[in-house]
Structure 1
Amino acid sequence: MSTEHTENAESAQSAGDAESTGTAGQRPGRLELARALMAGGVLSSDWTPAFAAVPRSAFLPELIWPYDMEAGRSVAVSMAQDPDAWARYADADVPVVTQWDDGRHTGTAPGREPTSSASMPSVVFRMLRDLEVRPGHRVLEIGAGTGWNAALLAHRLGTVNVVTVEVDEAVAAAARRALEIFGLPVRVVHGDGSRGFSDGAPYDRIIATCGLRSVPYAWVEQCRPGGLVVAPWGTHYGNGDAVARLTVSRDGGSASGFFTGPVEFMKLRSQRPPSPVHSEYVTGGVADGEESSTALPEGEFAGERFEPGHFALGLRVPDCRCVVADKRDGARPVWWYGLTDRSWACVMFRDGGAARVWQSGPRRLWDEVEAAHRWWQERGRPGYERFGLTVTPQGQRAWLDDPADSWPV
């Protein structure tokens, strides 16, 4: 057995040993989760003590809505009614919704839109790994959520070195209470995370647990030169994000870095994606648009949601929303809506037949999409890790391989 495998095995066992007393001793899922996270390379040995000492279950409410992978939907689980299922989901690598509809939701059935959650442990520890904290580092977290992520940071760095900002007053209060009960009383600030928290600046690290469409420049200003900003970022093209790992420049005037991989987070409330109203775009029928055809296959646009091609198209086709409709009777329409005017495009993919295209408006959106796809192919169909982002006072610029060759996003 290699040294690395030996260390991982010992770390997993230590996580299990830490859970071997009290109620946690009846929950083997914690040890199984530790082993899975280590095998996946997301739980590093330096984060194992925090994993063992700070269970996600300590920060979850009595009623949760975990995502059931088999059912493909969120399900309501009550600790009082089914404690075994509650504990099983708390220890599983699944996202757990803890609030719907900005707190307006009532009852046990899932609401319309999830607005606060406890992220998948694999995502949490992958982002903490990307953060590269060191003893003495001071961290600002944007999006307290349940408080679990802040507790993990506080266990490793000390409570005085962690500040978390939460826009929702009820969520902030619940996180503050959970952190105090657990014995890690991190400072929880109720406020707009897009402004950061200047009272504690400068920070060595800033981490966001919500999806962004624009990295606030205030975060760059509040992070020391050479510090890191780690945040899920994406475009309005779709709901998907990618983790941006940005290093603040020596003069503190900008931050730049590569993406580390795909994720999907609930969006910063001030940056939630627009929802185009179809009837405001297509006032008659698709036949009113300019018609053509395409040989591009359906899978390039309606495939797995984390395909890097979708991310690339979002980077190259600005101010555009893509909506993939359900497939019926062998046909699937894919729509694109311009967000600065009423331009639209539609491709109708059919099994065994050529795809028809319609587009209308000041922008020829399909032409832009087709050109962006060709650009991506010509560069070897790059994955997330070859793309990067630079943030300056003037805005954001994306790039492929080299920051010197960038474009505004």
Structure 2
Amino acid sequence: MTSEATERAPAGLLRLVERVTGPLPAPWRDAFEQVPRAAFLPDVVWLQLADGLPDHTPCDRATDHDRWNDLAWSDTPAVIQVRDGREPESGEPAWPSSSLSQPSIVAAMLLVLDVADGHRVLEIGTGGGWNAGLLAHRLGGANVVTVEVDPGLAAEARGRLDALGLRPTVVAGDGAEGWAAGAPYDRIVSTCSVARVPSAWLGQAGAGGLIVTPWATAWATYGNLVLTPHQDGGARGRFAHGGAFMSMRGQRSRVRDVTTVVRAGDAPDTGTTTLSPWDVAGGDRPAEAVMGLVLPGLRTHWNDDPTEDDDFRSRLWIWDDALTSWATVDYDGRQLETFRVRQHGPRRLWDEVAAAWSWWTSAGRPAFDVFGLDIGPDGTQTVWCGEPNGLSWPVPPDGCS
């Protein structure tokens, strides 16, 4: 990219964003033009090695300026940290732990946030600081508080924001706790996904406030929750289509290696199914998001790299958060009409998945945004479909996704 193109980059990025969102209101157009995304990227960013893989490779601005610059001004997410800031050792995957989100998704979330002049906003997940910078430009730095769990990232973001004269309050701390010192807030927005809404956010939202957060379940990470807190300490909201965000660090999965779920001596029951594992976990994010809502606490993992001793081409693993039950569904590489199923434990997990899929399809496949969430004054959180008094499912109490 030439220096001339770089000078035009904010306007070019705005055009890319508006292809997705449509024309932005004037205050947000001005923010996207005046708060340069590139100013919030470190000199080393991380590029995904291949679609679908968690591994990333570093890209240094000094030695690969064109690729770095292209990433800065494209409508794609930019990973700024891997492995919570720990340099990967040989053979370790460089999984992403912080990023600047995709600009069009950033803009869409800011529109849903529905801010007005004078609003005070709490942002959870500062990351590189760009989203906080956009908010500070729109509302004034004195009206924006942003919380980042990683002290190093918080310090770097504070420096970038100060350099541009934006100066929101940057707090290094646990975003699940919010920041009570600045409450109440008119708006709370999270840039990390949650599987359960932290109670502190409800307590720090002012009258007439709004909470917007990406959502995650054990099954899938997709979309947003738009939540209105109530005076009794509860809240109600609906889900909305959207992107996928990294999970809040305190709500990450406890299990990274699926083989730890299987114990020596497990003797699974074996059968077959005509339901394709790709229907329920094959990359259709909206469908997977619905499965996550109606199958609380169930997780999946694909094994597409069998050994010579394995008798499958692809295997879908399913297990429960309590680590009491597991199931596998195998594709033999030859035909797609039937699949081998193995199930072990007190729960028959694939039977539960098949029943959920049957309900969803017979109900006309209600979309993700037909579902909503209720939070009771006692903290119980319940997902519902259609109407709050309709069919419902509990949100697991530990909030690990």
The TM-score normalised by the length of structure 1 is: 0.87
Q: Say which SS state the counterpart of residue 183 (structure 1) adopts.
A: coil
1:141–1:157 Cα change, 3 Å: same
1:330–1:43 Cα change, 3 Å: farther
Task: Give the distance between the partners of 2:52 and 2:210, measured in 1 at CA.
Answer: 38
Task: Give the distance between the partners of 1:383 and 1:195, measured in 2 at CA.
Answer: 32
1:207–1:120 Cα change, 3 Å: same
Q: Aligned AA for 2:292?
A: G
Q: Say which SS state the counterpart of residue 161 (structure 2) adopts.
A: helix
Counterpart pick for 2:100 among 118, 124, 131: 118
The equivalent residue for 1:6 is none
1:157–1:109 Cα change, 3 Å: farther
Q: 1:312 Cα shift?
A: 1.8
Q: 1:70 Cα shift?
A: 7.6
The equivalent residue for 1:256 is 236
Q: 1:362 Cα shift?
A: 0.9
Contact 2:331 2:340 in 1 (8 A): yes
The equivalent residue for 1:83 is 65
Contact 2:214 2:245 in 1 (8 A): yes
1:371–1:231 Cα change, 3 Å: same
Please tell me whether residue 242 in structure 1 is matched to residue 190 in structure 2. Answer: no
Q: Say which SS state the counterpart of residue 158 (structure 2) adopts.
A: helix
Contact 2:40 2:130 in 1 (8 A): yes
Q: 1:110 Cα shift?
A: 8.8
The equivalent residue for 2:29 is 48
Q: Say which SS state the counterpart of residue 380 (structure 1) adopts.
A: coil
Please tell me whether residue 206 in structure 1 is matched to residue 188 in structure 2. Answer: yes
Q: Bigger CA drift: 289-298 or 66-75?
A: 66-75
Q: Bigger CA drift: 390-399 or 334-343?
A: 390-399
Please tell me whether residue 403 in structure 1 is matched to residue 388 in structure 2. Answer: yes
Counterpart pick for 1:139 among 121, 127, 147: 121
Written as runs of structure 1 = structure 2, the 5 A alignment for 1:159-238 is 159-238=141-220
Contact 2:147 2:170 in 1 (8 A): yes
Task: Give the distance between the partners of 1:66 and 1:388, measured in 2 at CA.
Answer: 35
Structure 1 residue runs without a partner (length 5+): 1-21
Q: 1:42 Cα shift?
A: 5.8
Q: 1:279 Cα shift?
A: 3.8
Q: Say which SS state the counterpart of residue 288 (structure 2) adopts.
A: helix
Contact 2:56 2:93 in 1 (8 A): no
1:134–1:24 Cα change, 3 Å: farther
Contact 1:67 1:96 in 2 (8 A): no
1:330–1:34 Cα change, 3 Å: farther
The equivalent residue for 2:271 is 292
% same residue: 41
Counterpart pick for 1:39 among 10, 14, 19: 19
Q: Bigger CA drift: 85-94 or 65-74?
A: 65-74
Please tell me whether residue 367 in structure 1 is matched to residue 346 in structure 2. Answer: no
Structure 2 residue runs without a partner (length 5+): 396-401
Task: Give the distance between the partners of 1:260 and 1:204, measured in 2 at CA.
Answer: 20
Task: Give the distance between the partners of 2:389 and 2:294, measured in 1 at CA.
Answer: 17
Task: Give the distance between the partners of 1:23 and 1:108, measured in 2 at CA.
Answer: 36
Task: Give the distance between the partners of 1:79 and 1:254, measured in 2 at CA.
Answer: 47
Q: Say which SS state the counterpart of residue 369 (structure 1) adopts.
A: helix
The equivalent residue for 1:321 is 299
Name the count of aligned residue pairs: 384
Q: Deviations over 1:136-162 (max 9, x none)?
A: 100000011111000000100000000
Q: Bigger CA drift: 384-393 or 137-146?
A: 384-393
Q: Deviations over 1:235-267 (max 9, x none)?
A: 1123x1321111122x25222211111322121
Q: Aligned AA for 1:241?
A: Y
Task: Give the distance between the partners of 1:185 and 1:193, measured in 2 at CA.
Answer: 19
Q: Cα RMSD between the aligned structures?
A: 2.6
Please tell me whether residue 380 in structure 1 is matched to residue 380 in structure 2. Answer: no
Counterpart pick for 2:283 among 295, 299, 304: 304
1:69–1:129 Cα change, 3 Å: farther
Task: Give the distance between the partners of 1:71 and 1:384, measured in 2 at CA.
Answer: 22
Q: Aligned AA for 2:275?
A: L
Q: Say which SS state the counterpart of residue 389 (structure 1) adopts.
A: strand
Task: Give the distance between the partners of 1:53 and 1:359, measured in 2 at CA.
Answer: 56
Q: 1:24 Cα shift?
A: 6.6
1:192–1:125 Cα change, 3 Å: same
Q: Aligned AA for 2:244?
A: E
Q: Aligned AA for 1:318?
A: P
Written as runs of structure 1 = structure 2, the 5 A alignment for 1:344-355 is 344-350=326-332, 351-352=334-335, 353-355=337-339
Q: Aligned AA for 2:385?
A: L
